[in-house]
Amino acid sequence: MTSASSPEPFGARLRRAMDERGPLCVGIDPHASLLTDWGLSDDIAGLERFTHTVVEALADRVAVLKPQSAFFERFGSRGIAVLERAVADARAAGALVLMDAKRGDIGSTMAAYAATYLDPASPLFSDAVTVSPYLGYGSLRPALDLARESGTGVFVLALTSNPEGAEVQHAVRGDGATVAATMLDHLRAENAGAAPMGSYGAVVGATLGGAAAAQGTDLAINGPLLAPGIGAQGATAADLPRVFGAAAGDVVPNVSRGVLRHGPDVAALRESAERFAGEVREALGG
């Protein structure tokens, strides 16, 4: 229950955005090859033009925008300044911002990472952030607690779309559970009782095919499932029901290059995002 003085939880805000705008997350990934493809220079000027164009084209119509922090960090403080403006402008236009930072550490360092992205006083304050649990799920507690306090969200890497992830995520613990299933169990506990959806999500690749079902892994966590891998990595919207099963209604499919390659034309970016969103709705029966 949200009191008059506490912020609305991220899970509730995300569910509303998905219902109103469609369940699609578009990445903002200004890597060098995309800047070149857009006819832009691989410098601050190119970064600013690229980022502004994506935000202008999509922030008023997609549910979630997901900047990849690394592509801004490589330009130093000036790149971070571009990222700060992008976050503020996207949120002002109504998009939820998921910062793809994949931070993971312990103690005061994890608390500092959490404050960077989930403290409303921070210049990089976002609606949610991606985190890595492979120093142990308990190491994420500063981010989990601050998210609950600030009405933001956390997406924990669980079953990622890169093939290398299997050597850690599919490893079997002494109790017979995989590492990934253990992370999902933790998230299920965090989200217990939340309505309409919890604020603690998992990153589960859309490229997994039927692997999760074959392993008996329950993907339903009463929270959002960020699904990278659609488009350039080979997955399609039609794969979602097979990968996620009964949890498909909580999926937030992520498309990056599949949309971004249509820039710098604003209309083409919008058309591509709308097409992906329509394919997702059709695949999920929405």
Contacts of 127 (CB under 8 A, 6+ apart): 10, 13, 14, 64, 91, 96, 97, 98, 152, 153
Per-residue pLDDT averaged across 42-55, rounded? 98
Query: Is residue 124's pLDDT more than 80?
Result: yes
**pLDDT bracket for residue 234 (50, 70, 90):** confident
Per residue in 63-103, pLDDT tens?
999 999 999 999 999 999 999 999 999 999 999 999 999 99
Q: What percent of the chain has pLDDT over 90?
A: 87
66 tagged catalytic:
no
Closest CA to 66 of 13, 129, 15, 108: 129
Indicate the pLDDT class of residue 3, thresholds 50, 70 and 90. Answer: low
**Residue 66, strand partner residues:** 27
Domains of the chain, residue spans = 18-284
Confidence of residue 269 (pLDDT cuts 50, 70, 90): very high
Confidence at 230, pLDDT banded by 50, 70, 90: confident
Residue 211 has pLDDT above 80, yes or no: no
CATH annotation of 18-284: 3.20.20.70
The whole-number average pLDDT for the span 26-50 is 98
For residue 47, the one-letter residue type is L
Contact predicate 63/96, CB 8 Å: yes
Active-site residue, from 91, 102, 170, 261: 102
Give the dihedral of Cα atoms 215, 153, 112, 65; nearest 10 deg.
100
Q: 63 and 21 in contact (C-beta within 8 Å)?
A: yes
In the 3-class helix/strand/coil scheme, how is the chain assigned residue by residue?
CCCCCCCCCHHHHHHHHHHHHCCCEEEECCCHHHHHHCCCCCCHHHHHHHHHHHHHHHCCCCCEEEEECHHHHCCHHHHHHHHHHHHHHHHHCCCEEEEEEEECCCHHHHHHHHHHHHCCCCCCCCCEEEECCCCCHHHHHHHHHHHHHHCCEEEEEEECCCHHHHHHHCCECCCCCEHHHHHHHHHHHHCCCCCCCCCEEEEECHHHCCHHHHCCCCCCCCCCEEECCECCCCECHHHHHHHHHHHHHHEEEEECHHHHCCCCCHHHHHHHHHHHHHHHHHHHCC
